[in-house]
A and B are shown apart, each in its own frame.
Chain A
Amino acid sequence: MAQSLLLISRQAPWSGPGAREALDIVLAGGAFDLPIGLLFLDDGVFQLTSGQNAKAVQQKDLSANLQALPMFGVDDLFVCADSAKARGVATDALALGDMKVLTAADIATLIDRYDQVITL
């Protein structure tokens, strides 16, 4: 049975290639049909806000890759409630649908459920 991997994405969308390179790990895993989960934590929640304009800073739009996640078989998408609240990000208005909103205690349980974890 394949080992499952949780990727915890903590970077804001354009703080360097971090957010994109974290997502690339997830998409690659999905392409190989591996069980992958993705949790947005801390500044990572800023990847999920609506109405962003990558072109304004001459960057690539991450949201296309984010929207592609289910197509790559990555359906286990999570967002940290505390991180969103601290940053004024409403969890009912995220750019990605079907996300599970988790408390800190839920996150501890979530990490336990996966075989491996990468926090990027």
Chain B
Amino acid sequence: MSTLHVLSHSPFGDNRLASCLRVMGAQDALLLCGDATYALQPGSAPFATLQAAGLNLFVLAEDLQARALDTPDWAEAINYSGFVELSIEHDKVNTWL
């Protein structure tokens, strides 16, 4: 069993990322989109946390591009058809609304 978790809020001043990381299972994946992609801002605490976490980490490419952020080599940038495929690959999708 695995869940695709989806985050779209900025990790700064919001506890969704922290809570998500606490309750994620070993087989789960995490997709960052919208302002959640700021977690991939180098030099930030969320960046360090995600780098150390060793997760199955995905990020929506358009949101990185909009924010002039790069995809670190421990994450995979995807487009919408990739998002659809990810949602099928995992048993359920848990969006942190």
Interface size in chain B (residues, C-beta < 8 A):
17
Complex interface: chain A residues within 8 A of B23 (CB): 41, 104, 107-108, 111
| Partner-contacting stretch, out of B37-45, B60-68, B73-81, B88-96 | B88-96
User: A117–B15 contact, CB under 8 A?
Assistant: no
Fill in one digit per residue for B15-39: 1 if any A CB lies within 8 Å of its CB, else 0. 1000100111100100000000000
Complex interface: chain A residues within 8 A of B28 (CB): 108
Interface size in chain A (residues, C-beta < 8 A):
19
- The one of B19, B94, B97 that contacts A111, using a Cβ cutoff of 8 Å: B94
- A112: Cβ under 8 A from any B Cβ: yes
CB contact list, A82-113 vs B, under 8 A: 82-83, 104, 107-109, 111-112
Complex interface: chain B residues within 8 A of A10 (CB): 19, 96
For the complex formed, measure the closest distance between the CB of A19 and the CB atoms of chain B, giving whole angstroms: 13
- A61: Cβ under 8 A from any B Cβ: no
